[in-house]
Amino acid sequence: MYELSRIRLYSIGPAGARYADTVLDLRGVGAPVPRPAPTQADFFEDEPVGPPRRPAPAGVLFLENGGGKSVLLKLIFSVMLPGHRNTLGGASSGVLRKFLLAEDCGHVALEWQHTVTGETVVVGKVSEWRGRQVSGDPRKFAEAWYSFRPGPGMSLDSLPVAEASALRPAAEGASGARGRRRTMKGFRDVLSETGKAYPGLDVVWEEGHDRWKEHLTRLGLDPELFRYQREMNADEGEAAGLFAVKNDADFTDLLLRAVTDTRDTDGLADLVHGFAHKLGRRAELTAEREFTAGSLEHLVNITEAAERRDRARAVHTAAEERTRTLAGRLGARAAVERARAAEHATEVAHAAHAVTDTERGRETASLIAAELAHRHASLALTAAERAAAAQRRELVDARTLHAAWQAAETVLRHRAAADRVTRVAAAIREAERDAAPALAARARAAADLVRALDAAATESERAATEGEDRSTALQDVAETAHRDATAAATAAQRARSESEHLRQRLTELAEETEQAVLAGWLPADAEGDPARAALAAGDAAASVAAASEQARQAAAATAERDRETAAELARRELAAARAADAARAAKAAHTAEADAAALLGAEPRLVELLGADGPLTADEVDGAAEELIALLEQRVGGAERQMFDLRTEAADDNRILGALGDGGLLPPSRDVLDTVEYLGEHGIPALPGWRYLAQAVDPADHAAVLAARPELVDGVVITDESSHARAREALAEAALLPRSAVAVGTAAALLAPPTGRSGTGVFLVPPNPAMHDEQAADGERRALRERAARRDEEIRALAARLTADRTLAARLTAWRTGCPAGRLAELAAAATAAAEAADLAVDQQHEAAVRRAEAQEAANEAAALRDRRQEEAELARRRSDALAGLAGRLRERARWQTRVRELTEEAAEAQQRAATLLDRARAADEDRRTAQRSADDNRRTARALRAERAEIAGASDDDIPEEAAEHTPPPSSLPALREAYRSASRLYEKVGVGADLRAEQARAEGDESAARAELDRLTNKVRTRAGQLLESAEGADGPSRQAAAARAEELVQLLETRASAASEQLGRLRGEVERLAPADGQAHTQLPEEQVPADAEEAQRLLRAANAELAARADALETARTRHEEALRAHRAADEATAAFEETAAQLRDLLRDPQPGDEPAAEDPAPY
């Protein structure tokens, strides 16, 4: 359903109420649309806020007379109801043509919005004068209609009525048209092109009235609604004027005109004729229908019962056949499952062998991987030890280099001091030629002392070197002893761990044996022979399993009996429930019919008809029902005849009152009014004949004028005699086509004297006084209204009584139809029989309940016994399995005990060896420390002697002859030699040179002695390397020597860090080797020749391959175990399925009845289920 949303009027309307470009907007003030449809916004259009709303449900347009209200309605109706005959307010075609000027191309566009989806559609009309000239010829007036759905490309605002249209109006209500107005052809071309560019607009253009009406109907805009509106507003009055009919015939005409096509009167006549024929045969057809309905009711019941019996028999037979087939298929399926169980048993055995082989392969791969890991760790440790030794050598060289650079300044200072001593000595020798004997004596004493000191220092250094060598050897011995002690302690701990594990297993075995004895599974004297107890337990488990199977079969039998009794009890309960339902239904039916009869008997009308003293009982109503129905039908017939008479009289009075009207004069016919209006549009003054008679003729002459000119009185009078010819021409061109004969004449013709028409045989029916005399009709109108009021009261009372009798008769007839004579007695007997059947069914139900309780008790006892037997069987099985496992472990007990003793001895030996090695290591450490202390003392002694030798003045290495230096030291002791040197020095000082030169010599010799003492504190290797470095380019100056020393120090720090990391790596590798070492100290397994690694890299590669092989073996083992478990589950499922199918097939065969002689056995074995 659509509602009017907006109206746009462009360049149309009369001069006094012209619409240039006007939009009447009714949008957005109604209720929200329930289910808004998705829409695509146009360019530059504002985004909608919230859901769309419906247009205003109502509106009021306030304008003064002549402001354009009627013009607006006429224009709207010209779009929805095309044709000049459908123009609102009259049938003049000139009304709409007056709204258009010569240069106009008028548009009337209506936008309608759907009340549910909010979708809009625009329908409009465009009209213009052909040739741009106003003409009286209607054929030159061109008009067409169009429709489209607003969207991107075109809307009501952007309608292309002008050569330029704004896409978006500047303000609300402002015109979007710009430029010159388009002609109808230009408008149609733009509309068509836009429709092709935007197919979603769904543009339609029509020029025919009928096709436009059909298109409006397809859009959902029914033109018939607007035709009704046009009829109700024909003279711009109230809608009630349409229904102000004078009699029933007028109303019938109005209804027929509204619902039928006036051009097809034959169809209406055929319809009325057929309906009248059916009414004539109503009694016959009613009797035939009642007889047929009654017969069909009984026949349908019989047919339905037979069909239900046949269906039940067919269902039963088909169910038996399906059950037999199902039983055979279940048996076949049991055989298939039995064969499948055998196949699964074979698969289980193969899977078990596969699991064993896979476990063996995985164990071998695990041993190979462990051995390769151990060898890789050992080879990596060896390589790391070699690398650590090389790093230690490199560190020693770096430390020597750093010490040499640090000692370079000391060597340089000693060289400078020696040169100074040489120069001072040369100066003194010149001065000491005279003191040569004393000097010679001091030189000899100094030489003897120096030789003695050098010999003692050399001996001390030799002893220190021997002590250091012995300390190094002892350190190696201690380290070896520590490693051996660690290995021995590790072996002892490994032996103790394995021994503890075996002792734990022996303890657990003893506890298991004790528990088996306490549980009664083993006798107290049978611990030595558990195998015999295991065999006895297996035999007992087999016997208990057989007893459990017997208990299971007995429980199944009792359960089957329980199910049978339960089924019987269910059938009995169902039968009892059905019997109870039937009894209640019979009683309810009897009670309902009796209550309905008693309710009818309490009606005062029925008591009045029978003349009873009080309310009727159900039996009385049942006996007198036919008589009461006949009496009510008589009363209803009399009341209907009386009602018909009264309504006929009322209709006559109403027709007379309608003819008289409510006051004033009655209006003339529609054809007369249309003719007067058309003449007025063409400037010809005219009045209806009745109105001219009432206004211009004396009432005394009305009868004479009516008798003389009746056709002109009921026609049109032209008040201007000169316009008579023009009126004839105008009416000839108009083609009004009235439905009655309309006479048109001048006032003179109406008032002309009669011409003597008495002999024509035509006379005039007396007209209604209300047509021309108001006073003559008032008295008759009042009398008719008073008589009509009294008759209405009588009609209402009679109608109420008639309605009550009809209702009561219908109720009584309906009750008698549902409850024929004797039906109450039959219902009472049926209720009694149903109650007795219900009691019998309850007794049978109680008996079935007793049998069910007995069977259920027996089934519960059998089930309890079965559960106990199953528990005993499960206990016996667990006992047998436990004893079998215990027997196997007891057979290993002796080997475990022997191994424990061996491991205990091995642990004790390893612990003793570790203690011995630790003692040896401690002794070696003590000897090493003693030797190192002795070497340190000798080193200190040698340094002291060297320092003393450096302090002796007057003797140098060059002064000592080679033969004297190589000569053995003198027999005198060092103290004697020191005293001889001091005496010679004192004597030389007495006869020596001057004090200044001696002081200078003393200072030079002191500096040289100090430098030599510093130099003697260095090792020979450092002194030699320092001398070599001073000869190099880096030793030329001080900054170079400092930079070289810094670099040497950095190198030492780097090497020390590397040595520390290598030491940590060695520790980790030693721990890894000990962790991966085999338990027996030999090897995990014997490796093949191609898998023996030569170095750590090859060992790592082989280890990765072995780990991959081990992972593959583990996956294969897991897969084999999974397959074994699946095979076991499939085997158990097949066994259970076999038992279940066999049991179900047996139950179905037991439930089937014996085959009948006519039943044919199955030709072949059924397919498995």
Residue 1044 CB neighbours (<10 A): 20
Q: Rounded to an integer, what distance in angstroms lies between the CA atom of residue 746 and that of residue 722?
A: 9
pLDDT of residue 1021: 77
Q: Give yes or no for a contact between 98 and 75, defined as CB atoms under 8 angstroms apart.
A: no
Structure tokens at 686: 């005219």
Q: Give yes or no for a contact between 881 and 516, defined as CB atoms under 8 angstroms apart.
A: no
pLDDT of residue 763: 47
Q: Rounded to an integer, what distance in angstroms lies between the CA atom of residue 1070 and that of residue 1077?
A: 10
Task: Give the bridge partners for 1075, in sequence order.
Answer: none
Q: How sure is the predictor about 687, in pLDDT bands with cuts at 50, 70 and 90?
A: confident
Q: Rounded to an integer, what distance in angstroms lies between the CA atom of residue 1021 and that of residue 698?
A: 173
Q: Rounded to an integer, what distance in angstroms lies between the CA atom of residue 1121 and that of residue 1055?
A: 56
Q: Describe the strand order of the beta sheet including 2-12 as a list of residue ranges.
A: 19-25, 2-12, 105-114, 120-129, 141-148, 204-206
Q: How sure is the predictor about 968, in pLDDT bands with cuts at 50, 70 and 90?
A: very low
Per residue in 826-844, pLDDT (tens digit) is 888 888 888 888 888 888 8
Q: Give yes or no for a contact between 953 and 421, defined as CB atoms under 8 angstroms apart.
A: no
Task: Give the bridge partners for 22, in sequence order.
Answer: 9
Residue type (1 letter), 440 = A
pLDDT of residue 1162: 47
List phi, psi (to 5°) of 982: -65, -40
Q: Is 617 helix (H, G, I), strand (E, B) or coil?
A: coil
pLDDT of residue 1130: 83
Of 193, 200, 236, give the one whose Cα is nearest residue 95.
236
Q: What is the pTM of this model?
A: 0.31
Q: Say if residue 575's pLDDT is above 70.
A: yes
Residue 534 CB neighbours (<10 A): 22
pLDDT of residue 772: 59
For residue 998, give Cα distances in angstroms to 91, 949, 988, 991, 1142.
Answer: 166, 19, 11, 12, 137
Instruction: Identify the residue with better confidence: 346 or 913.
Output: 346
Q: Rounded to an integer, what distance in angstroms lies between the CA atom of residue 665 and that of residue 654?
A: 17
Q: Rounded to an integer, what distance in angstroms lies between the CA atom of residue 72 and that of residue 83?
A: 16
Q: Rounded to an integer, what distance in angstroms lies between the CA atom of residue 866 and that of residue 547?
A: 9
Q: Rounded to an integer, what distance in angstroms lies between the CA atom of residue 984 and that of residue 993?
A: 15
Task: Calculate ∠ Cα 623-628-632, nearest 5°.
Answer: 170
Q: Rounded to an integer, what distance in angstroms lies between the CA atom of residue 1126 and that of residue 1129?
A: 5
Q: Rounded to an integer, what distance in angstroms lies between the CA atom of residue 330 and that of residue 1161?
A: 17
Q: Say if residue 169's pLDDT is above 50.
A: no
Average pLDDT, the chain: 77
Q: Say if residue 312's pLDDT is above 90.
A: no
List phi, psi (to 5°) of 222: -75, 120
Q: Rounded to an integer, what distance in angstroms lies between the CA atom of residue 381 and that of residue 383?
A: 5
HSE-CB of 357 using CA atoms within 13 angstroms: 10
List phi, psi (to 5°) of 178: -135, 145
Q: Give yes or no for a contact between 105 and 183, defined as CB atoms under 8 angstroms apart.
A: yes
Instruction: Identify the residue with better confidence: 990 or 623.
Output: 623
Per residue in 1033-1086, pLDDT (tens digit) is 555 556 666 777 777 788 778 877 878 887 787 788 778 777 777 776 667 777
State the average pLDDT over residues 603-617: 78
Q: Rounded to an integer, what distance in angstroms lies between the CA atom of residue 974 and that of residue 451?
A: 10
Q: Give yes or no for a contact between 497 and 850, defined as CB atoms under 8 angstroms apart.
A: no
Q: Give yes or no for a contact between 78 and 216, defined as CB atoms under 8 angstroms apart.
A: no
Strand 744-746 versus strand 716-718 pairing type: parallel
Q: Is 133 helix (H, G, I), strand (E, B) or coil?
A: coil
Q: Rounded to an integer, what distance in angstroms lies between the CA atom of residue 404 and that of residue 1048?
A: 10
Q: Say if residue 170's pLDDT is above 50.
A: no
Q: Rounded to an integer, what distance in angstroms lies between the CA atom of residue 1073 and that of residue 380?
A: 9
Q: Give yes or no for a contact between 1078 and 383, defined as CB atoms under 8 angstroms apart.
A: no
Q: Give yes or no for a contact between 124 and 146, defined as CB atoms under 8 angstroms apart.
A: yes
What's the length of the chain? 1169
List phi, psi (to 5°) of 154: -165, 145
List phi, psi (to 5°) of 627: -65, -40
Q: How sure is the predictor about 205, in pLDDT bands with cuts at 50, 70 and 90?
A: very high
Structure tokens at 1108: 């991959």
State the average pLDDT over residues 640-650: 81
Structure tokens at 191: 């509309």
Angle between helices 974-991 and 436-518 (to 10 degrees): 150
Per residue in 499-553, pLDDT (tens digit) is 888 888 888 878 877 777 777 666 665 444 566 666 677 777 777 788 788 888 8
| DSSP state string for 48-95 | P-SS-B---S-------TTSSHHHHHHHHHHHHS-SGGG-TT---THH
Q: Rounded to an integer, what distance in angstroms lies between the CA atom of residue 293 and that of residue 992?
A: 179
Task: Give the bridge partners for 181, in sequence order.
Answer: 162
Per residue in 392-418, pLDDT (tens digit) is 787 888 878 777 777 777 777 777 777
Can you state the percent helix, strand and coil of the chain, rounding each to 5?
Answer: 70, 5, 20
H/E stretch holding 10: strand 2-12
Task: Calculate ∠ Cα 219-222-228, nearest 5°.
Answer: 165
Task: Give the bridge partners for 123, in sequence order.
Answer: 110, 147
Q: Give yes or no for a contact between 1162 and 322, defined as CB atoms under 8 angstroms apart.
A: no
pLDDT of residue 229: 72
**Strand intervals (E) in 664-820:** 686-688, 716-718, 744-746
Task: Give the bridge partners for 111, in sequence order.
Answer: 6, 122
Q: Rounded to an integer, what distance in angstroms lies between the CA atom of residue 140 and that of residue 157?
A: 30
Which class for 1160: exposed (0-12), middle (13-18), buried (19 or more C-beta within 10 A)? exposed
